[in-house]
């Protein structure tokens, strides 16, 4: 590889790293992760996208994508309410 090609590869790698860092900071401000925001954005643009395609885009496993996309809705709809306790752990 020539010096120009090598420098270009290093520059592209640095830009990608900076973009991921910036994306993670933005996601953190919204209480989520970059992967979750990426998944939500892709689902909004492409509602028929497959789980495997989302996994490839986010560089996660297919199971992790399934957990990120399905766990919140399935847990919130099927979980029993958590009993409220007082300061000493005594049920109210």
CA neighbor of 35 nearest in space, from 64, 75, 72, 15: 64
Q: How far apart are CA 58 and CA 39, in angstroms?
A: 7
Predicted TM-score (pTM) of this structure: 0.60
Query: Of the candidates 22, 85, 86, 36, which has an alpha carbon nearest to the alpha carbon of residue 64?
Result: 36
Q: Encode the chain (92 residues) as per-residue pLDDT tens digits.
A: 788 788 999 999 999 999 999 999 999 998 988 999 899 899 999 989 999 999 999 999 999 999 888 754 433 333 334 344 444 444 43
């Amino acid at each position: 590889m020539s010096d120009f090609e090598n420098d270009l590869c290093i520059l592209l790698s640095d830009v990608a790293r900076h973009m991921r860092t910036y994306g993670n900071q933005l996601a953190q401000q919204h209480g989520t992760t970059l992967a979750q925001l990426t998944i939500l954005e892709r689902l909004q643009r492409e509602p028929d996208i497959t789980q495997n395609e989302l996994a490839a885009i986010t560089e996660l496993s297919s199971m992790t994508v399934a957990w990120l996309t399905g766990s919140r809705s399935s847990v919130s709809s099927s979980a029993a309410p958590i009993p409220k306790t007082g300061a000493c752990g005594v049920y109210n």
